[in-house]
Each structure stands twice: as structure tokens, then as C-alpha cells.
Structure 1
């Protein structure tokens, strides 16, 4: 009898040890809340109870990874899915696949695996194996724009960064409100209509309550598919179709197609060459644009960048206003980046492939400038200007630098003009007395012969400084010529 009591007591101790909630221990999911320090219900209805924040996280969704980095918890991610390549540091994290053997995940000893409901629906046995190993599995995904804040707060609770979540959510609201103030000032009669193509298959669009639907509204666009209905419950993809598009052909001022791994619309050429699409106003006027799904449909803080891009497509004369640079101040390289993107209306550059960082690049790898923080406002302009070929970085000891505060030189401007423009060699050559001092004399000669840049007392003066106005004048001549 005594031995039987001991066995029962040991069994109870074992059960309590196994199911005691606490990140870093074992599975913390249950059907009831508890007195745990961290407690919430995930998006599959599982009660998550944690004694402390998690510090060894495997993320199986690129948005989770990106948001954790934004919240300052990137150092807590020990495993990442292959599509999680933003910021650039995320691409260096060990890759895990939910289509492979779950033993690899179990062996990594995470204290939490963050998934989304899509994964449970598609590979339930994989998720179950992780849970059976005693690892906490949290499933999160915001189905609509209204769910984003709650999603971020739950993600922050897992990593213990609730304070930073509040800061970042307030910053997002501020940025969205600032953009809305700009576009709301546009008279209604001057507003432009837009069609957003979410998938080339059946020419689908998005639901009005989606993040894209919200972005269109904030960008000041008139969504011609504002009443489109979801293809299924919980999806932001909506039915529309070719017939409905052509019925509105005369009203579509701007046509935007998102491209990406999850949902991909048509290419610029593909849309322009579709039978019957030659009557679409945006196609006729050359106002068809491509945008990366990562800044449009992915539930991250970069959604404001997507909204800003839509506003740039809709109202370039407002959003790409460069009047603040129309002055005689000596230009820095950061100034040059801003001016280049605005004057040339260059769309925001974002890596389009999850395999981007598997390749080596001669000139520049996106996000790798040591002196440009991916969280800075200047990041998008510097990266976009560089990726467009308008600027170059500096390679020093196997590292890349942009040197944003360094003064622009005349030869750097000449190289940018050649790269961004379509200049042709002239039948004559203007004599440049210091041409031998130029690193790329051919480019300098062409810029001078085309009267884009003037000589200074017969000299080009390649290392000389340039003003913001000189950059604007040179780039405008090139853009207008194209």
C-alpha cells in the first residue's frame, strides 16, 4: 500500500513538471488560462501560458521574423523560414523547413516555435510532432488590418518586448496619419482611381478591409474594386476578373500589380500585352506599376512603405516633391539619394526573391551598408538609388559603406547621369583640359558633350563639390530626355 502511494505521488509530480507553464521548459498550450506571467489565446484558439519571455525562437513566417526584428527581438530568433530575408540580418539565421523532419527543430532546442494557421492546416502532423516534444507552439496571423495591433502585441508578449511594441505601433500610426493628411488635402475631383491586382490567376484583387485596402484609402486612391468579396472566409484575396476590369477601363488611372512568392500579379509587359487591355486608361498612359508583396500584403510595420508607394504612383507630383532641395547647398551623398529617387520617380527597391542572399553581387548587396541603419528613413532612398545604379558604395576590408554625409563630387554625378539616362555619343568632342584626372573619362566626356554638365574654366574638376540644385538640373535633363 505504501509503495502504491509513492508511485501515485511520483506520477503526480511528473505530470505537474511536464505541464507547468514556462518558456524554456515545455509545451505551454492548454485550454484554460492560468496564473502565468504571460497568458493569451493564439489565433488557433490555443491558450498560451508562459512563465517568462522566450529567448530561443524559431519563426516559420517571414512577417513574424521581420516584426520581431523591428521590435528589437531579432537576437532571440535562432531559426528562420527561407522567405525571411528582411532585414538583411535575418537572412543569416539558420533556416528551418516545416516540410522536413520535425526532429531537426526539436534538436535545436527552441523554447518557442511561432507559426501561422496556414501551417497547421497544411502539415498538421508536423505541428503535432513539435507539440508532442513539449515545445511551445504559438500560431499567429492577422486576417484583416484591424487585427494587426493585437497580433503585434501577442508577438511582443512571446519575446518580452511589449514596451517596444507600443512605441512601434504609435510610430506606425503617426506615419500613416502623416501620409493621410497629405492625401486628404487633395480635392476629391482630383483624386485618382486605382486597380490593385493581387493575383494574375483570375485577375483577383483584395478585400476592402485588408491591409492593401487600407493602404489604398490612406494613399488617397479611389479603389474601383471597393466592393469586391473575399474568395473564402478569412482571405484578403477577392474576386474581380477581366470582364469587371474592362468594364471600368476608362476609369482606371493607375494599375498596380503585386509580385511575390505568395500572391503574384502580372508583369509590366504581361499586363500591357493582355488582349483587350490596350483600352485600359492606365495602360494607355503608361501608369502600370509593380510593387513587392512584402510591403503590401505582408502584415509588418513596412505596410506604411507600401501605402507611401501607392501614393507615389497616384500623385508623384506631390509625393516626390523635391522643392526642399532646390537650393545652393553643397550636396551630400544622402541628399543625392533622395534627389535621385524623387526626380526620376524610381519605385522603392525590395528584394523579390527569397534566394537573393544566396548570390554574390559585385557592386552592392541590398541592406549591407555598415553605415546605413535599416530603420532610418533614409534607408529606402539610399538603397533604391544604389540598386538603380545611380550611386555606388565603398568596399573596405570586405565591408560595404555608403558614407551618407560625404560630399558629392562632380564625377560621381556624371556617373549617375550616365547610368540613369540614355545619352548618346555626339559627333563632336568638347575639349576638357583635365580629362586625364577623371577616373572614367568616357563618361565625363559624354556628359559634357551632351551639355548635361558644364566645364569650369575649361576644366571638369572631377573631385569638385556640387550643389543640390546642380544635381536636380542634371537629372531633370536626363529624365525629360527619356
Structure 2
């Protein structure tokens, strides 16, 4: 009996120590991941993940990236369409994806996890999720303090950008239609990160009645609804990039758009999608850039640290 007690006590202490040291996160698909040590061999299949990992001070830990990610030259390039064996050959301990991948390629997730590779799906679709996302990456990689520092830095720099806007009465702020996908006449969801950028820059979203598409940051709108508000659109803004390969000329020459106030006043502009749609510190550049379009009289006030 004494032998059993002698063996039981150390095991209990070991178990309690392990539980105390364990950390956990909840990803964007509400899956809970419990882990006992930071991940050191990471495959990043979303450029925003890579950007944020680098911001956290990680570099060698990122062993491979996706094909649309040029931030780390010389690293192996893999994609979620690949045979899972190609990813497994790199011996990752963590693969970072986003919900689009897990929904479209569940077999990839299943095979990776079957081979003891942790898979975490992360992508904030609302501004309210942004800070939690950065802190989650910090927790996964043992960079919790750096994750909190990102939040603090972002908050301070954004305050400097938005401070001058307090001088502008709300009724005098410019009204904006923010285009997400031109060919489908879609805008951004009112709670999206892109609209957070617009509103932080002092713009007023004229499409607050847009219907969010599933759980994405995109919202359906349509040409008829845009034209119904044509006289009230002071500035027409469109994201530009892979998701929306559009030009200013495409917009101003769109049949019917000649009645839009912003088109008549030459107030149609493009903004790089990386500055308004990806959940990185580059959103500060996006806020500063959009503010300069809306209120050029404010010049570089508060932007010197960008």
C-alpha cells in the first residue's frame, strides 16, 4: 500500500505541474487547442499571419509560406491544395490557416492532425477581434508580451492619427461608399475591419444597410442601391488588389455611375487591400492614407510615426 502511495504522489504532482504549464487558445472556428510549449516550426498559409509573426519577432520559426506570400525569400512555398505529405515532409508542429481553407479543404486538416501536427484557423472579421487575434498568435509562439505590445502600439498610434478629426463636426464628415468587389457591386460588412479603417479615418459609411455575406467581411449591396444614394456619396473608395482588380477608370465609366456625386467631383480613389483588409499593423497606414483622401487639409498631423 505504501508503494502505491509513493508512486501516486509524484505522478499527481507531475500532472498538476503539467496542467499549470499548459496554455490554450480558441480559434476562429471555436476549436480549443491546449498546448504545453510554444510552437517552433510553423507553416503560415495566410500572408497576414506571416506579417504578424514577423512583428512578434519570429523569423526562423516560420519554415514555409503560401504562394502569395513574398515576405520571406528562400523559404519553401506550399499551398493548401498540395498533397498533405508535402507539408508533413517539412516537419511542422503548427500550420496556421484561415476558415476559408478549413471549409474548402477539410481533408488537409484531418490528415495533418492525424499526424500530430496542430492546425489553427484564425482570421478576425471584425475590428473587435483584432487585438485578441494578435494576442492569440503571441500565446501560440511564446511571445505573449510582444503580442500585448502590438496592441499598445496600435492603440497609441491610432489615437495620434484620429486626434485631429475631433475638430470636424459629425454632420460635416464626408460620406463614403467603400467598394469591396466591383464586378459584384459588393461593399464591406458594417462591422468589418475595412469599415473600421474608414470610420477611424473620419469617413461615414453610407452603406450601413448592407447585408453581410455569411461570416465574411463582405456585404451584398448592388448597383440600384448605390445609385439610390448617388447624390450623397462625397467620396467613392475601392480596395485594389487580387480580390478587386479594378481601376479608377473602371469605376467612373461604369454605366449609370455618372450620376454619383463623387464621380462628378473626381473623388474616386483606390486603396491597397493590404492596408484595409488584412489584420496587421499596416491598418495604421490604411487609416492614415484614407484620412489624407478625406481631409487633405490635415496633411501629416499624427502620421509622423507611421
Q: Normalization by structure 1: what TM-score? A: 0.57
1:255 lines up with 2:240 in the alignment: no
Partner of 1:414: none
CA 1:189–1:120 in 2, change beyond 3 Å: closer, same or farther?
closer
1 CA distance for matches of 2:207 and 2:164?
Answer: 23
* 8 Å CA contact 1:183, 1:218 repeated in 2: no
* 8 Å CA contact 1:198, 1:265 repeated in 2: no
Partner of 1:48: 33
Q: Please, which of 273, 277, 280 is the counterpart of residue 293 of structure 1? A: 273
Shift of residue 202 of structure 1? 2.5
SS of 1:295's equivalent?
helix
SS of 2:184's equivalent?
helix
Partner of 1:274: 254
1:240 lines up with 2:221 in the alignment: yes
Partner of 2:212: 230
* 8 Å CA contact 2:95, 2:120 repeated in 1: yes
Partner of 1:81: 66
Partner of 1:331: none
SS of 1:113's equivalent?
strand
Q: Which structure 2 residue ranges, 5 or more long, are not aligned?
A: 1-14
Shift of residue 91 of structure 1? 4.0
Q: Which of the pair is proportionally richer in strand?
A: 2
* 8 Å CA contact 2:157, 2:305 repeated in 1: no
Partner of 1:133: 115
Partner of 1:196: 178
Partner of 2:200: 218
1:150 lines up with 2:140 in the alignment: no
Give a deviation string over 1:1-22, Cα, whole Å, max 9, x none. Answer: xxxxxxxxxxxxxxxxxxx9xx
SS of 2:211's equivalent?
coil
* 8 Å CA contact 1:34, 1:49 repeated in 2: no
1 CA distance for matches of 2:73 and 2:226?
Answer: 38
Q: Please, which of 183, 188, 200 is the counterpart of residue 206 of structure 1? A: 188
Shift of residue 143 of structure 1? 2.5
1:164 lines up with 2:149 in the alignment: no
RMSD of Structure 2 on Structure 1 (CA): 2.2
Partner of 2:8: none
1:313 lines up with 2:293 in the alignment: yes
CA 1:245–1:73 in 2, change beyond 3 Å: closer, same or farther?
same
Shift of residue 306 of structure 1? 1.2
* 8 Å CA contact 2:239, 2:271 repeated in 1: yes
Bigger radius of gyration, 1 or 2?
1
Correspondence list, 1:69-468, <5 A: 69-85=54-70, 88=71, 90-232=72-214, 234-261=215-242, 263-264=243-244, 266-320=246-300, 377=305
* 8 Å CA contact 2:231, 2:260 repeated in 1: yes
Partner of 2:4: none
1 CA distance for matches of 2:278 and 2:28?
Answer: 17
Shift of residue 265 of structure 1? 6.0
Ranges of 4+ aligned residues in structure 1 off by more than 4 Å: 33-36
Shift of residue 209 of structure 1? 1.1
Partner of 1:60: 45
- Number of positions where the alignment pairs a residue of Structure 1 with one of Structure 2: 290
Give a deviation string over 1:310-333, Cα, whole Å, max 9, x none. Answer: 111101121357xxxxxxxxxxxx
Shift of residue 36 of structure 1? 4.5
Flag the structure with more relative contact order, 1 or 2, with Cα contacts below 8 A and sequence separation at least 6. 2
